[in-house]
Amino acid sequence: MFRFLRQQPRRSDSAKAAKERLQILLAHDRSDRARDDLLPLLQRDILEVVKRHMRVDSDAVEIKLQRGDDMSSLEINIEVPDAQSRQAG
């Protein structure tokens, strides 16, 4: 009977730790999904801004998000048209 009383707090502590770990994993998974959903939105918004100033094909915009341990970087490549087609029409 004394063993049961001693083990009860350990199980409770273990359950709390497992719950915290699961919450961290779920938050991390959600943030990854949010980042993946962000790229198409960024591409659309950037394309809209660029189109205000020049004619650009939708396929001419490429966006890459690279994630590292300490830092993430966003790379944007836009194929700029020649001088004759720069004015939006």
**Tens-digit pLDDT profile for residues 21-32:** 878 877 766 666
| Kind plus residue range of the DSSP H or E element containing 19 | helix 2-51
pLDDT at position 11: 55
CA distance 82 to 89: 14
Helix (H, G, I), strand (E, B) or coil at 64: strand
In a domain, 88, yes or no: no
**What is the arithmetic mean of pLDDT over 39-53?**
81
Q: What is the pTM of this model?
A: 0.46
Structural domain containing residue 7: 2-82
Q: Is 89 contained in some domain?
A: no
Domain count within the chain: 1
